[in-house]
Structure 1
């Protein structure tokens, strides 16, 4: 099933030593894939200063600024800083998901009591376009439905400069503990 790699010296060789590579994948495709993974920094060590507790949350919160909070609606400004740019020069999809989660929780909290714990059951994102480095993005979250056991939040991400819709997101939160029937 898998090809045996040479001794694990280069990054590509180390990856090939730890990964199972199917025999039906042409060797050139394997090399191209490993080249791509190396280019995006796969297996690079995480810098020590990034190993602190809750580092990722601090990083994400650092690009969010609340603009408007109403019952069932939260609007924030997101600054697309260079640390959040992917290898293609656009806003990284993982960062978009982290922003979507944070704004969704904030939006849900405008209608769900504090004694209810929220459990994120589903988050879906449509990447329609991309936000470039240093762009400002308006994220508008609104409650679609909120009941005894769940809350659904919809979001639109628009470029501040043009108003163009670039991402949409939808989050479903389950309320814990679940109400007794």
Structure 2
């Protein structure tokens, strides 16, 4: 595998280099900016220095991660409750639940909650997902993820999702999702 280029700005003097596995990268003949090497060291310390990591190439890889961490507790009309425990694989470099994981879990719970009130004869499309990161959930923290319908009409469904600490019920993340409902297209 080749290392990614540490050049940040495109150059007119770039040449294309082909590696033995068929991938191509652009290398600059001019010097990298002074901060490029420190940024590359930071990315390497996070383990993301190679953009072609093989493990993440499988179809719907992130769903597998989420399914292993998000457990359904109750499903009622207009309300879904799940539990999750923050494990190292889903944390950021600061040891808190990764913001992208919060967003992905919020989306999953919102879809499940919307499906409790929107019939199977309609498709739902996520139009907006807003998240407030109020605090941090650290490693081994147990969270309650609550989804509830705010409003559901013929064309729009609004869902609120709250992430609370299981022990204290302290609100750590809050989210709102807007779904557009439309009849399933008949082809």
Q: Structure 2 length as normaliser, TM-score?
A: 0.77
Q: 1:89 to 1:76 in 2, by over 3 A?
A: same
Give, in angstroms, the shift of residue 38 of structure 1: 3.9
Correspondence 1:169-180 to 2 at 5 A:
169-177=175-183
Q: Contact 2:162–2:174 at 8 Å: present in 1 too?
A: yes
Equivalent residue for 2:101?
Answer: 95
1:167 has 2:158 as partner: no
Q: 1:164 to 1:100 in 2, by over 3 A?
A: same
Equivalent residue for 2:6?
Answer: 15
Structure 2 unaligned spans of 5+? 11-32
What are the superposed Cα offsets for residues 120-162 of structure 1, whole Å, 9 maximum, x if unpaired?
1110111111111121110111001111111010111001122
Q: 1:49 to 1:33 in 2, by over 3 A?
A: closer
SS of corresponding position for 1:56: helix
SS of corresponding position for 2:177: strand
Higher percent of residues as helix:
1
Higher percent of residues as strand:
2
One of 119, 125, 131 as aligned partner of 1:119? 125
Number of corresponding residues? 162
Structure 1 unaligned spans of 5+? 1-8, 22-26
SS of corresponding position for 1:15: coil
Equivalent residue for 2:28?
Answer: none
Alpha-carbon distance between aligned partners in 1 of 2:162 and 2:150, rounded to the nearest angstrom: 13
| Structure 1 outlier segments of 4+, above 6 Å | none
